[in-house]
Amino acid sequence: MFTTFIVQPIFNLLVFVLALLPGHNFGLALIVFTIIIRFLLWPLVKKQLNQAKVMKKLQPEIKKIKAQTKGSRQKESQLLMELYKEKGINPIGTLPILVVQFIVLIGLYSGLERVISNPHNLISFAYPFLQNLPWMKHLATNIHLFDNTLFGVVNLSQSALGPKGLYIPAMIIVIGSAVAQYFQSKQLLPTTKDQRGLRAILKDASSGKQADQSEVNAAVGKSTRYLLPVMIFFFTVDLASALSLYWLVGGVVAYIQQSYVLREDEEKMEEIADKPTKDIDNIPEAEIITKPKLNQSTKPKNKTTKRKKKK
């Protein structure tokens, strides 16, 4: 089922792009394919980025809640959930886009493995309507027409490190994909000037001080900014460079999309993030929602209306 509903559709989209592009270069087809995938994911990406932007703006409010709750985890958790609900933030809102991206990556990897192991799979694994395209019919008669390079410079079926040793063009793509991932992660992570590193938090915890969970999460997120690029490097360095090219182009397009969304409707997003939050100074420990205070400006008006009625 995974092959039928995930791998084959992704593979055939790539083959469709390859068959229609002038020159039928596999590297160019992979670049166009990646851009198409990123734009198909645009609604999920935009929602994720809008939430990330609001989270950045809410850091002062979150810090204020932590200071005023004075270490009460239950009250802090309640007020943070109240704040997220008030601002329309879903703490797990980024999960769908990550799941979809992972599925596409696995599907693409499986499809690329088929092409690299046997280029004839370009024909046999394609849908019938694609097999009837003129270039596909021509390719079926001479599979050597398949150009598996990036503009004739990089052999996309070869890995950066493999049996033949170091392949420098592929290594450049691998490094580029790791760098793109770093800047993509850095762009989204909320940071504050006084944010401490994970090492400093653990040092205080070892001396008996209780660690703040949200501060730990922020420190872990900061460490992830460096961890993900390293993981991507070691994951792709011995795989066909076609997968690294997909990751590189995807990272660059994602960075551009993020830059656009994070600048878009600046005044609107700031208005959402700057909404006044509830006064938590006088909130009892177990109470979540404060009772609305009577507006003092309305009291004189009520008195005057009563006097008018008596007259």
Q: Mapping DSSP to helix (H, G, I), strand (E, B) and coil, where does residue 25 land? A: strand
CA distance 78 to 74: 6
Can you give the three-state secondary structure of 181-246, one letter per residue? Answer: HHHHHHHHCCCCCCCCCHHHHHHHHHCCCCCCHHHHHHHHHHHHHHHHHHHHHHHHCCCEHHHHHH
- Is 242's pLDDT higher than 90? yes
Average pLDDT of the chain, as a whole number: 77
294 domain residue, yes or no: no
- Domain-located, residue 286: no
pLDDT band at 204 (very low <50, low <70, confident <90, very high): low
The answer on pLDDT for 49 being more than 80 is no
What pLDDT score was predicted for residue 102?
83
What is the Cα–Cα distance from 49 to 44, expressed in whole angstroms? 9
> What's the whole-number mean pLDDT along residues 217-231?
72
Q: How confident is the model at residue 295 (pLDDT cuts 50, 70, 90)?
A: very low
- Total domains in the chain come to 1
User: For 32-45, what is each residue's pLDDT tens digit?
Assistant: 999 999 888 888 77
Domain-embedded: residue 228: yes
Sign for the pseudo-dihedral over CA of 69, 71, 75, 77: positive
> Does residue 73 form part of some domain?
yes
pLDDT score, position 274: 58
Identify whether 296 is part of a domain.
no
Q: What is the pLDDT of residue 32?
A: 96
* Interval 270-286: pLDDT, tens: 555 555 545 545 544 44
Band the pLDDT of 1: cuts 50, 70, 90: confident
Confidence at residue 33, expressed as pLDDT on a 0 to 100 scale: 94
| Residue 10 domain flag | yes
| pLDDT score of 113 more than 90 | no
Number of H helices, E strands in the chain: 16, 4
β-bridge mates for residue 149, sequence order: 155
Euclidean distance between CA atoms 96 and 300, whole angstroms: 52
**293 falls within a domain:** no
Q: Percent of the chain having pLDDT more than 90? A: 32
Confidence of residue 298 (pLDDT cuts 50, 70, 90): very low
For residue 310, tell me if it sits in a domain. no
Q: With a cut of 90, say whether residue 73 has pLDDT above it.
A: no
Please give the residue range of the domain that contains residue 125: 2-278
